[in-house]
Structure 1
Amino acid sequence: MPHYPNWRLFLLAGAFSIGRACFAQDVGVEPVVLPPSVEAAPVSYEDVEVQPITLTDEIEPVSWGEPCCNYNVGCCNNGCGSQGGGWFTDAWISQGYTANFDHPADNFNTPMTFNDRADEYQMNQLYLAMGKEVDDQSCCWSLGGRVDLLYGSDYFFTMANGLELHQDGTRKWNGDGPRDSGNAALYGLAMPQLYGEIFAPIGNGLRVKFGHFYTIIGYESVMAPQNFFYSHAYTMQYGEPFTHTGILGSYTAGDNLTLHAGITNGWDNFDNINGQCSGLFGFQYANDVSSLSYSFINGKEDADGLNNRFLQSLVYTRKLGNRWTYVFQSDLGVEENGKLNAAFEPDTAFWYGINQYLFMKYTETIDLGVRLEWFRDEDNARVIAIPIEAFSQGGNYYELTLGANWKPYDFVNVRPELRYDWSNVDLLGAQGPYNDFMDKQMWTASFDVIFKF
């Protein structure tokens, strides 16, 4: 606990009873090391021979490729065949250790999440995914689905209202412990994905998910193997949802463009808690050198269904030569009546930031990376979650992370990292948001090992 005078402890306790920490996230996108593009020699038009046009009496038919039998009921019986899909299982264990240079008394690296325990071992994820992939390579309708189970300390950040949680926030099957002021155990079980999927041979192909699935918003993922770093950015931890429940369609509009559109129960809700739905939309354009994705979610997220929340995320990935990859991410969130101003009147809350990543292929088994982030929680609505202007002033969070991935075998990934955090947030006269609210900065050194089965 922070060492405040008694009146500050009283205010802090009252404020925390008003505010509620929001641990928000995907379809996770692993840092992509794209193959180098092929350089094309410049064309000299003077050297191009002009071909004469010969008129004939016959017009050659134009070939548009093999028909996909797109609206033919007998498609699958006419030899289109199956080229993909099938049953699968995927499993891994991610476990690590984070050393905090301040050694906080409560053993938490607050406000860092996921690897949130200080100076002790964590088994973050014992993860099992199983299901059936849809066959999107043939011209036939295909049905698939997936279920993911996560046991470990990361369960706490992936729970959904109506699934792992009751509507009042109490746990359905996970026990008590030191998390959430003594109301949640260190280790538990979550089911972050449970969905069916249909592939429809319409146009270039339409995939539709229905159920409980990861968000398409942002860059980092809940799933450990899809991230370069052991720790996570503030943007992912506090600024974005993790899961949705609803329906999401993805349409292949060409060789490089994919469009997404869906209707969901909002942020991290299995049940519809307020009778409202949120729209989830986005697109991704990718080629051999770069990719650009944009996504947003819009809807009423409060329990009464009155206040609109909007979040957009832009992610750009670029291959720089044969060894380097650069990633840029920018998020912006806005929530109506998301804070109380100095006169204790409802007002709009904002959060936004920029993440930059740079990765280098050092050897065949070692990759190096750096992440530089600025996240502004302008109204203290996300990180500390006390959006009351009279009690606290929002501010900036910065973090610089240096890390590596060492893969001595295909099924092993060792991820060491060194991280520095700094913030100017003013909270009830506290010294800062780190080390039990006694410091404005935090140094951590950590590593984890992922074994894939």
Structure 2
Amino acid sequence: MKLSKLALIAALACGTYAGNAFADQSNDIQLVSHCAAAACDCGEPACGCESMNLDCGCGDNSCDGGCAVGCDSGCDSACGVGSCLDDCGLFGDCCLGDPYTLFGEHCGWSAGGWVQMGYHSKGNGLFNSRPDELQLHQAWLYAEKAIDTSNGFDIGGRIDYLYGTDSQDTQAFGTGTGYDNDWDNGPDYGHALPQLYLEMGYGDLSVKLGNFYTIIGWEVVGATGNFFYSHAYTMYNSEPFTHTGALATYNASDDLTVWGGYTTGWDSGFNDNGDSFLGGFSAGLTDDLTFIYTTTFGRFGEARYGADERGYMHSIIADYAVSDSLEYIIQSDFLDTEDVNGATVRETFGINQYLIKTLNDCWAVGGRFEWWNADLAAGNASDVYALTLGANYKPHANVMVRPEIRFDWDDDQIAGLEDGDDQTTFGIDTIFTF
């Protein structure tokens, strides 16, 4: 019945204004890049897209100096093997072109998806739950119609479907009996329908109605929205993944966006599982600095942790573009909840820091350092630390490879570390988009 209603909405949408493609919680990994807008030609590179080698006898290697070092500029002979590795260079010019799409658009609706497969040597219980084996994390399909309110009222929506090991953490698990909780294929693989919503808008105001991803936090469920293969403890343990309800978005100006709405708890699907406020704002303080505050408070779930959990949490994020190719993000989350008797259910505090360096449109490297402090209902308290170093490599516009090495250490084992106090994990995944 729900799918039939969605089909009816799609038919009606053919008579509305066509929307531009959009992404919930970002369906593309956004990397800072000074080459993003340049039409890189390896024979005649654009300014700022030249080979990173500055010792080819060409001075400052600037366009003004008339010495843009291309891959056919003779650097190999002048500076030794490896100065220009191939047509686009390891860290020089990178010419990916446009990605291929499988479905395209029809009546303003677009569809796509991705396949994520990965391997990690050890598990930490944060999505990556099957260590030492190749697994299908996400086989993802979505269909959406983005609203376009430039000419007045418009209506759209989105539906997402997921199969893989990540489905167990993406189903409506907040109730324990959510509508897709029994869509399992064995103990680890299964199906999930994490988003199904209608969106309406007029001018600078839009409203989502249905089941949608949270606005809280920096990391997201969809693999294409994250720099790293693994996830932070804060994201997995202290933040909601999805909400059901209504969420309004108001673009007050080019630099200020405000959110506010009502949800039925955390990760509840279409079950009436709680009553909570969801909101916040995103403000561009300068051209290089964005400040984001998001919060939710109220009843988070009648079935969470065997109690009627209620309380408050917020996430504060500062995103700073240090340069055209270097991005620094710091995030602080606070969560404080109790049960109906006033006993502590979860009290957590976390600080995550990310530093991402874009080398070109093919390569980026980054680091993440996290401190997560938890005081849980069972009386367990812990300080968890994690350092992750990784890279993003795009050999093709539709392919992303993300190797990483991660170091975790903990006061005890409540965080799920296999080896007790410390653990070193190698992981790598590949994402194919279509």
Cα distance in 1 between the residues matched to 2:347 and 2:244? 25
Asked if 1:166 is matched to 2:183, the reply is no
Per-residue deviation, 1:290: 2.1
Q: Retained in 2: the 8 A contact 1:336–1:349?
A: yes
Cα distance in 2 between the residues matched to 1:321 and 1:407? 22
Counterpart in the other structure of 1:362: 359
SS of match in other structure, 1:388: coil
SS of match in other structure, 1:405: strand
Per-residue deviation, 1:115: 2.1
Cα distance 1:193–1:87, how it changes in 2: closer, same or farther (>3 A)? same
Counterpart in the other structure of 2:32: 33
Per-residue deviation, 1:34: 7.2
Cα distance in 1 between the residues matched to 2:158 and 2:152? 20
Q: 1:173 corresponds to which letter in structure 2?
A: W
Deviates more, 1:330-339 or 1:410-419: 330-339
- The gaps in structure 2 that reach 5 residues or longer are 1-23, 36-106
Counterpart in the other structure of 2:427: 446
Counterpart in the other structure of 1:198: 200
Cα distance 1:441–1:267, how it changes in 2: closer, same or farther (>3 A)? same
Asked if 1:222 is matched to 2:237, the reply is no
Calculate percent identity across the aligned residue pairs. Answer: 38
Per-residue deviation, 1:433: 4.2
Cα distance in 2 between the residues matched to 1:446 and 1:325? 23
Asked if 1:402 is matched to 2:384, the reply is no
Equivalent residues in 2 for 1:14-163, closer than 5 Å? 27-28=25-26, 30-31=29-30, 33=32, 86-100=108-122, 109=123, 111-136=124-149, 138-161=150-173
Q: Retained in 1: the 8 A contact 2:33–2:361?
A: no
Q: Retained in 1: the 8 A contact 2:174–2:301?
A: no
Cα distance in 1 between the residues matched to 2:395 and 2:192? 30
Cα distance 1:299–1:129, how it changes in 2: closer, same or farther (>3 A)? same
Counterpart in the other structure of 2:417: 434
Cα distance in 1 between the residues matched to 2:268 and 2:144? 22
Higher relative contact order (CA 8 A, sep 6+): 1
Per-residue deviation, 1:31: 4.8
Cα distance 1:166–1:112, how it changes in 2: closer, same or farther (>3 A)? closer
Q: CA RMSD in A?
A: 2.5
Q: Retained in 1: the 8 A contact 2:330–2:353?
A: yes
Counterpart in the other structure of 1:234: 233
Cα distance in 2 between the residues matched to 1:98 and 1:257? 40
Q: 1:128 corresponds to which letter in structure 2?
A: L
Per-residue deviation, 1:307: 4.8
Q: 1:376 corresponds to which letter in structure 2?
A: N
Q: 2:403 corresponds to which letter in structure 1?
A: P
Counterpart in the other structure of 1:376: 373
Q: Deviations over 1:329-368 (max 9, x none)?
A: 00000002499xxxxx934641011000000012331100
Counterpart in the other structure of 1:388: 378
Cα distance 1:278–1:34, how it changes in 2: closer, same or farther (>3 A)? farther
Deviates more, 1:262-271 or 1:303-312: 303-312
Cα distance 1:316–1:35, how it changes in 2: closer, same or farther (>3 A)? farther
Cα distance in 1 between the residues matched to 2:157 and 2:368? 34
Cα distance in 1 between the residues matched to 2:323 and 2:298? 41
Cα distance in 2 between the residues matched to 1:318 and 1:220? 16
Deviates more, 1:345-354 or 1:220-229: 345-354
* Aligned counterpart in structure 2 of residue 283 of structure 1, from 274, 281, 284: 281
Q: Deviations over 1:166-190 (max 9, x none)?
A: 26x9942214x4xxxxxxx221110
Q: Retained in 1: the 8 A contact 2:173–2:181?
A: no
Per-residue deviation, 1:369: 0.3
Q: Deviations over 1:291-326 (max 9, x none)?
A: 111000001124288652211001111111122100
Counterpart in the other structure of 1:251: 250
Q: TM-score, normalised by structure 1?
A: 0.69
Question: Highest CA radius of gyration, 1 or 2?
Answer: 1
Counterpart in the other structure of 2:327: 325
Q: Retained in 2: the 8 A contact 1:394–1:426?
A: no
Asked if 1:293 is matched to 2:292, the reply is yes
Cα distance 1:171–1:280, how it changes in 2: closer, same or farther (>3 A)? closer
Q: 2:191 corresponds to which letter in structure 1?
A: L
Cα distance in 2 between the residues matched to 1:295 and 1:426? 30
Cα distance in 2 between the residues matched to 1:334 and 1:218? 16
Q: 2:114 corresponds to which letter in structure 1?
A: W
Per-residue deviation, 1:272: 4.1
